Structure formats: structure tokens, C-alpha cells
Amino acid sequence: MYLKLIKSGEKSVIDALYELSNLEIKSKQEKAILACVKVANFPFLKELDDFDFEFQPSINKQEILDLKSLRFVENNENILFVGTPGVGKTHLATSIGIECAKHRYSTYFIHFQELMSQLKKALAENRLEIRLKHFSKYKVLIIDEVGYLPIDTDASNIFFQLISKRYEKHSTIITTNMPFSNWAEVFGSATLANAILDRLLHHSHVISIKGPSYRLKSKVEYFNSSSNAS
């Protein structure tokens, strides 16, 4: 295409080379962004544009859009999404994580139980410090479903170590269906729970979601459509 434009005199050689260079740079940047998203281990690729804010009026849409600016990452602030199952916590956490990855911040998504399983295995194999360092390095670490199941004392202490290592150095995004007042039940100790919360909440944005479940909504819509069809 560029050869034809040059031959016809519609574009100079210098302009053509300049545009080709820009296209190559853009292509490399897009590949780098895709790589960052791919290695982040997201459970799905849903962005903020896909979120139905009208279905969850308790959410301050502008507050979420402000988080999309990623100032919280530069300020090493945390985000905690709190709410009952199905209200969109994981969707929002993932969407913000995707935005971070697109801006080439090292980002990783992991379920709380999987995280603790890996760290306890590392403890048993005398390589806990290596794994803690691994999870501490991410600029943005998303830990999904904290408190879904309680954990034992060893795991609680390990989780405290991880949060302490990340404190004021990097951003951690948490989703939980447990009110903070109940975290002692998760970690088996009010002292540990308070120490963890103290570090998570010190520089943070807490998004409390009070509303219906998207999953139940989908089931109801499916049931209604099936009933109408019959």
C-alpha cells in the first residue's frame, strides 16, 4: 500500500517510514498489553462498560469510574468490595484489574482459598518466603472471596505476613461477603483480624454493595422466558 502511495506521489518516503514506524510501535504496545492481561489470571474478561450500574443503585458509579483513573495504584491504596454473593464484586474487581493490566501494571488475580493453599504448601516445603516475595511483587494483587471459608491459625498468620509485606508498597484489591466485624471468625482471632484490617483499610476505598444477586436475576429471567415460551 505504501509503495503505491510513494510511487503515485501521494506520500513521501519519509512520511511513509514515519507512519510504518508508528504502526510497528503500536503493534508492539498492543501485544505487550495483551500479554499483561493474559498473565494476570483473570477469571473472565469483563470491563466496566459491561457492568449494569442501574441494577445496583447502591454503588456510586462515579466513585468506580474514578478508580478507573488508577490513581489508587500510584498512591499504593487498596480497594475492598464488600457484599453478599452475586452482587458484582468479582466483576468490578476484575474490570479494574484489567484496566491496570492494560496500563502495564503487574497484576494478578487469585481466589483466597487458592492463595492460602499455595502459601501453606510453601510453608510445608520450607519455601514460604519465596512465595510471599512472589505475591508481594505485584503492583496490583486481587484476592477474591476472602472469608468464603474460615482458615486455620497458620494460614491466618501467613496471610497477615503477605498483607504486611504489601502494606504501603503496592495495591491490594479484596472481595469479601463477610462484614469486617465478622473477620475474626474467618481468621480465628480478633487480634489477627484487626491487624490485617488495619493494614488493608488504612489507605483504602471501601465499596459496600447492597443489592440483589445478578445470578438470581439471570435465573429468574431464564425461568420467565422459559415459562413464556411454553
**Per-range mean pLDDT, top range of 13-17, 23-27, 88-92:** 88-92
Residue 219: is its pLDDT beyond 60?
Answer: no
| Selected residue with higher pLDDT from 224 and 86 | 86
Contacts 24+ apart (CB under 8 A), 156-162: 156/187, 156/188, 156/189, 156/192, 157/192, 158/116, 158/119, 158/120, 158/123, 158/128, 158/132, 159/115, 159/116, 159/119, 159/187, 159/196, 160/192, 160/195, 160/196, 161/132, 162/119, 162/132, 162/135, 162/136
What is the C-alpha to C-alpha distance for residues 5 and 1, in angstroms, rounded to an integer?
A: 6
- Here the cell at position 51 is 457492568
What is the C-alpha to C-alpha distance for residues 22 and 184, in angstroms, rounded to an integer?
A: 55
Phi/psi class of residue 213: alpha, beta or left (left: φ > 0; alpha: ψ in -120 to 50)?
beta
| Selected residue with higher pLDDT from 196 and 10 | 196
pTM, rounded to two decimals? 0.83
Least reliable range by pLDDT among 123-137, 141-155, 214-228:
214-228
* Mean pLDDT of all residues in 53-68: 94
Whole-number pLDDT of residue 54: 92
**Residue among 128, 90, 123, 112 nearest 209 (CA):** 90
What is the C-alpha to C-alpha distance for residues 165 and 141, in angstroms, rounded to an integer?
A: 12
Q: What is the mean pLDDT of the chain?
A: 87
In the chain, where the domains are located? 2-36, 40-226
Whole-number pLDDT of residue 211: 86
Contact 187, 151 (CB under 8 A): yes
Contact 58, 211 (CB under 8 A): yes
Give residue-wise pLDDT tens across range 64-103.
999 999 999 999 999 999 999 999 999 999 999 999 999 9
Percent of the chain exceeding pLDDT 90 equals 74
Least reliable range by pLDDT among 46-60, 132-146, 163-177:
46-60
* Mean pLDDT of all residues in 163-184: 98
State which amino acid sits at residue 33.
Answer: I
Q: What H or E segment, with its residue span, contains residue 123?
A: helix 112-124
- Here the cell at position 11 is 506520500
Whole-number pLDDT of residue 141: 99
What is the C-alpha to C-alpha distance for residues 30 and 4, in angstroms, rounded to an integer?
A: 27
The three-class DSSP label of residue 31 is: helix
Whole-number pLDDT of residue 227: 45
Indicate the class that CATH gives domain 40-226.
alpha beta
| Selected residue with higher pLDDT from 154 and 4 | 154
Give residue-wise pLDDT tens across range 101-134.
999 999 999 999 999 999 999 999 999 999 999 9
| Selected residue with higher pLDDT from 91 and 216 | 91
Whole-number pLDDT of residue 8: 65
Whole-number pLDDT of residue 184: 97
- Residue 221 pLDDT class (50, 70, 90 cuts): very low
